[in-house]
Amino acid sequence: MSSIKMFEKPLGMRDKFPQIYEKVEAVRHTGRNFLRSRGYEFIKTPTVEYFDTVGKASAISDAHLFKLVDSQGNTLVLRPDMTTPIARVATSKLLKEMIPLRLAYFASVFRAQETEGGRPAEFEQMGIELIGDHSVFADAEVIVTAMELLKQFGLENFKVTIGHAGVLNCILQDYTESIEQEDVLRTLLVQRNYVGFEEAVASFDLPKTKSDALLQFIEEAMTLKEIRDIEKYVRKNDALEYMQQLAKLLEIANLAQYVAFDFTLSSHMSYYTGMLFEVFASGSGFPLGNGGRYDGLLEVFGSKVGATGFSIRVDRLLETITAQASDKEEAIVVLFEEEDFEEALEKIEALRAAGKQATLQLRSSLVDEAAFLTHFTKVVVVGQEEIRGE
Amino acid sequence: MNELTIAMPKGRIFEEAYQMLIEAGFNLPEEVEMSRKLMIEIPEEKIRFILAKPMDVPVYVEHGVADIGIAGKDVLLEQQRVVHELLDLKISTCYIASAGLPNTTMNELAPRIATKYPNIAMKYYKGIGEQVEIIELNGSIELAPMIGLADRIVDIVSTGRTLKENGLVEYEYITEVSSRLIANPVSYRMKGDRIIDLVKRLKKCVD
């Protein structure tokens, strides 16, 4: 280990310079207005939580948690996601006041990370949770809200891929002969290892009708345009009916063009009991966000009311919307000499009252005046005519 | 039609995979001038090849700077990156095995394993209930048991000749390796039509 230099930050941590800061603020502003207009109320939870509650319940694996110890010896975590703390606060308090609950957040989450670059250990997430509504309409609302939110940022080239744990389970159950085989196949799907899936199916020595069905399913399931195409693989069940209904609702909402169905979509988390989805957009190599129904997580906190939601990663959203470059804002600097202070104050107040962004600076303090002034679009010197415009 | 960026390992695998693409009906020039170029544009097919070290192909694909790529299963197992594994191209097949000096057993106190694949080796020995110490090397792994650095090596075996010439014998077969077509998860969604078309066409050449 080389010693830490004075300029270094902990692994994966980033400074946010003014230009990026403003972009994030703009995203927050747009997102906040939009989500509030849809009846979602913003909430903030503590940065630090107990490992035994939020840490253990979170979908984020243990290895990615930042852990600390408090003075009583309890293990604490920096919150690794927002869904779990919100599930905690909703079940313990907010659900007693209102049900269903519509909550939104814009907050930093923390993931301890490996050594590779391009993976921040702290990043902002924006999202919603709709808690206390079991219906398919709640899931549809969440998906529609996610898509409309992306449109607020001018995104058109995006896709939402939707699957359902119940449909997948039904297929795996019907076409394999043991729970072990089911688990092997599910794990391979979580890893998106289609080659391994085919090999595993071959190695199971299943009756030909079953193995053929599985292989054909995997080939078709990734490219489904319409939910109809999956029906031949699944016997009639609630999950399938649910998805048919969801598809219909999204069609009515006129958003079917952004939707793809993928019933190989699987989560390593057992909380995702029902519908789940991922959000993709060109411009970032990683998914923009994900969501789904997580009734199971609420049960961990002792409530059976059901919940659904989504979250978007702000850093990746910024990558996809950088194309829309913003103009440099007007920035004025007022330079003054010591004896002109009063006049300088008057001048700057007039500018600020007019809504301008104006900096007041004592001229004699400047070491390199020319370099300093390059950061402004307009320079005013008290007691002189304007010396530089745009 | 979207531009498709394909990360390819330099060398023999590139040539084999390139021939497969031609067989699959892609309009590629018969001869590509490889020399020192790192990028090859094929405007007719809107394809761009980037040439990388085999170990680096999954890196380019995971970060999405390449949409798809061709990577050895050994590399995929070692790095565990988040990519879709779409197709077994069944080229450059070989396997990973452990090897050592003949008629030796592993040190009981602290068995040492030299390898280029620390994760694969660790996982294998954990799986058979052995706690081992891993020594990571970058090449000429066969040296390690010969000069007493390690009891066993874990490495790729294709013909077994290198082992034999260095007086080593194979002990345990670990896993099979071949080249795989992998895809970035976002590209797989956003450029799905092109990628699935390519998989289908290549699949016909494999079987």
Per-residue pLDDT averaged across B31-48, rounded?
82
CA distance B138 to chain A (A): 19
Identify whether residues A373 and A232 lie together within a single domain: no
Identify whether residues A291 and A377 lie together within a single domain: no
- Going by C-alpha positions, the residue among A125, A164, A169, A173 that lies closest to residue A293 is A164
Identify whether residues A222 and A357 lie together within a single domain: no
**Chain B residues with CB inside 8 Å of A113's CB?**
none
Interface A:B, Cβ pairs < 8 A: 51
Contact status, residue A168 vs residue A46, Cβ threshold 8 Å: no
B44 interface with A at CB cutoff 8 Å: no
User: Which of A280, A281, A285 minimises the CB distance to B63?
Assistant: A285
Residue A353 domain boundaries: 332-381
Identify whether residues A85 and A171 lie together within a single domain: yes
Identify whether residues A354 and A215 lie together within a single domain: no
| Measured distance between the N- and C-terminal CA atoms of chain A, rounded to whole angstroms | 50
CA distance B178 to chain A (A): 11
Please tell me whether A258 is known to bind a ligand.
no
Residue A249 domain-assigned? yes
**Chain B residues with CB inside 8 Å of A281's CB?**
186, 190
A157 and B190 in contact by Cβ < 8 A? yes
User: Which of B64, B84, B196 minimises the CB distance to A285?
Assistant: B64
Residue A389 domain-assigned? no
Per-residue pLDDT averaged across A206-227, rounded?
79
3-state SS of A68-109? Answer: EECCCCCEEEECCCCHHHHHHHHHHCHHHCCCCEEEEEEEEE
**Chain A residues with CB inside 8 Å of B75's CB?**
none
Residue A8 domain-assigned? no
In this prediction, residue B110 has a pLDDT band, given cuts at 50, 70 and 90, of confident
Residue A6 domain-assigned? no
Q: CA B64, CA B190: separation in Å to the nearest integer?
A: 11
Q: For tokens 């500018």, what's the residue?
A: A351
Please tell me whether A8 is known to bind a ligand.
no
Beta carbons within 8 Å of A57's beta carbon, 6+ residues apart: A84, A87, A88, A297, A300, A301
Burial A129-157 (b: 16+ CB within 10 A, else e): bbbbbbebebbbbbbbbbbebbeebebee
Contact status, residue A334 vs residue A348, Cβ threshold 8 Å: yes
pLDDT digits (tens, 9 = 90+) for A219-272: 777 666 677 777 777 777 788 889 889 999 999 999 988 998 888 887 766 677
Q: pTM, whole model, 2 decimals? A: 0.85
Identify whether residues A161 and A98 lie together within a single domain: yes
* Class in CATH terms, B4-92+178-206: alpha beta
Identify whether residues A255 and A350 lie together within a single domain: no
B84 and A194 in contact by Cβ < 8 A? yes
> Within the 163-192 window of chain B, which residues sit less than 8 Å (CB to CB) from chain A?
180, 184-187, 189-190, 192
> Within the 84-103 window of chain B, which residues sit less than 8 Å (CB to CB) from chain A?
84-88
Identify whether residues A139 and A170 lie together within a single domain: yes
Name the residue with higher pLDDT: A266 or A289.
A289
Domain span(s) for CATH 3.40.190.10 in chain B:
4-92+178-206, 94-175
Please tell me whether A357 is known to bind a ligand.
no
User: Which of B86, B186, B196 minimises the CB distance to A284?
Assistant: B186
Long-range contact pairs involving A33-38 (C-beta distance under 8 Å, separation at least 24):
A34/A148, A34/A149, A34/A152, A35/A104, A35/A128, A35/A145, A35/A149, A36/A104, A38/A102, A38/A145
Long-range contact pairs involving A251-254 (C-beta distance under 8 Å, separation at least 24):
A253/A140, A253/A144
B56 interface with A at CB cutoff 8 Å: no
Which residue type is seen at A106? F
ipTM, 2 dp: 0.81
pLDDT above 60: residue A326: no
Contact status, residue A138 vs residue A131, Cβ threshold 8 Å: no
Domain count, chain A: 2
pLDDT above 60: residue A324: no
pLDDT digits (tens, 9 = 90+) for B115-151: 999 999 999 999 999 999 999 999 899 999 999 999 9
> Any idea what the CATH number is for the domain that residue A356 is in?
3.40.50.12590
**Chain B residues with CB inside 8 Å of A266's CB?**
none
> Any idea what the CATH number is for the domain that residue A290 is in?
3.30.930.10
Please tell me whether A125 is known to bind a ligand.
yes
pLDDT of residue A390: 46
pLDDT above 60: residue A387: no
Largest CA distance in chain B: 61
Identify whether residues A247 and A360 lie together within a single domain: no
**Chain A residues with CB inside 8 Å of B83's CB?**
192
**Chain A residues with CB inside 8 Å of B82's CB?**
192
pLDDT digits (tens, 9 = 90+) for A48-87: 999 999 999 888 888 889 999 999 999 999 999 999 999 9
* Class in CATH terms, B94-175: alpha beta
pLDDT digits (tens, 9 = 90+) for B19-34: 899 998 888 887 776 6
Beta carbons within 8 Å of B80's beta carbon, 6+ residues apart: B119
Burial B70-84 (b: 16+ CB within 10 A, else e): bbbbbbbbbbebebb
pLDDT digits (tens, 9 = 90+) for A113-128: 766 777 889 999 999 9
Contact status, residue A79 vs residue A128, Cβ threshold 8 Å: no
Please tell me whether A115 is known to bind a ligand.
no
Residue A184 domain-assigned? yes
Nearest residue of chain A to residue B66 (CA atoms): A285
